[in-house]
Amino acid sequence: MSTPRADGFRMSGEFEPHAGCWMAWPCRPDNWRNSGAPAQRAFAHVATAIAEFEPVTVCTNRADWPQARALLPAHIRAVEMASDDSWLRDQGPTFVVNDFGDIRGIDWQFNAWGGMYAPHDQDALIAQKILELERLPRYACEMVLEGGAIHVDGEGTCITTEECLLNPNRNPGLSQDQIEAVLCNYLNVERVIWLKHGVYMDDDTSGHVDNLCCFARPGVVALLWTDDAADPQYARSHDAYARLSETQDARGRRLQVVKVPMPTPLHLTADEVAGLSPGAIARRPGTRLAASYINFYIANGGIVMPAFNAPEDAAAQRIIQSLFPERRVIPVYSREILLGGGNIHCITQQQPA
């Protein structure tokens, strides 16, 4: 078994050109209220927005295929593929590219975010099935990892969080150095920037980095921000800011960190909780949601970003637009996705061109 690094492949930045985008249709009634109907509409809105920029494929369980096909616009491809839940960022492969335009994929071990959800045997097959569908070679990696736990600049730098990657619910037998070595060999990076925490209350993912910060391009990082010292997110964002600002990337650059305000805190309502079937995780009314504008998807020529009908929506959009002056920014109201424990970036996976 070789590795992407040994074979000259690297994970490209999300801002590099895509062949398309993968998603999965929400299905679990214990995680998506009202049997998933509101989430399905939200997913369809996201898919439709992304499809303005690049081809989109939505994977659906057998029973959901006719309904997904009917709800999605005809130009979005609906493909039958069993899943336990619908976070393609985490279940899907991490694609890698070489200098000759070849594409392969990494199939990480998947344990449902440290065992948060059962069953997850079908989710664990998705990366392999997608690579098979696309006739792309596959690197099977022994390490547990989800795509939402990493961001790369495509030029040798990875950002991740200790909260997630060092959590004993993922790879208890691996040291930080060993985990970093796997990241370096599979993503083909030389520099791993370790942030301490993800976003406050992002417990379902153990603090995935993709809800907290991301590369807008090499050398530039967008970071979820609050100036409210009383907010639990304050220390997390400030610590991340300090770590990002004080380090260098793989090319020796100082990172420019652009602050994106977080929305005024949002909380689960009793009505929302009432729509859930009993299941994996007990959700309680009043629980704070890990809402973040950072959880956007970078498409070919576009950005599809979360909107919450919050006072900060407009400012966040303005800042994100300034980070991507060449791309058209489409906000999609995504509270329903947030209720499931993630957002637009979490439910998407880019396939490089």
Q: Which residues bind a copy of itself (CB under 8 A)?
A: 55, 61-62, 65-66, 69, 77-82, 122, 125, 128-129, 132-133, 135
Residue 179 tokens read as 């985990």
Name which of 122 and 287 has its Cβ closer to a copy of itself.
Answer: 122
| Cα dihedral: 156, 162, 163, 167 (round 10) | 110
Residue 89: partners with Cβ closer than 8 Å, 6 or more residues away: 146, 147, 148, 210, 342, 345, 346, 347, 348, 349
Q: How far is the CB of 57 from a copy of itself (least distance, A)?
A: 9
Identity of the residue, 121 or 227, whose beta carbon is nearer to a copy of itself in the bound complex: 121
Locate 352 and state its tokens.
């490089």
CA atoms of 206 and 162, how far apart (whole Å): 9
Q: How does strand 349-352 pair with strand 18-24? A: antiparallel
Tokens 């990076």 appear where? Answer: 189
Annotated catalytic sites, by residue? 346
Nearest Cα residue to 48 out of 30, 27, 26, 72:
72
Least distance to a copy of itself, CB of residue 61, Å: 8
- Pairwise CA distance, residues 190 & 265, whole Å: 37
**With respect to a copy of itself, which residue has the nearer C-beta, 79 or 319?**
79
| Closer of 66 and 285 to a copy of itself (Cβ) | 66
Three-point CA angle 77, 152, 179, nearest 5°: 110
> DSSP secondary-structure letter at 251?
T
- 10 CA to centre of own chain: 18
Residue among 142, 141, 195, 190 nearest 166 (CA): 195
Residues 6+ apart with CB under 8 A from 60: 24, 25, 27, 68, 78, 79, 80, 81
The CB-of-64 to a copy of itself minimum distance in angstroms stands at 11
Rounded Cα distance between 334 and 307, Å, is 6
As measured in angstroms, the least distance from the Cβ of 125 to a copy of itself is: 7
* Residue bearing tokens 């208890």: 172
| Least separation in angstroms between CB 89 and a copy of itself | 20
In the complex with a copy of itself, the residue whose CB is nearer, 74 or 230, is: 74
Least distance in Å: CB of 137 to a copy of itself? 10
Q: Which is nearer to a copy of itself, 220 or 353 (CB)?
A: 353
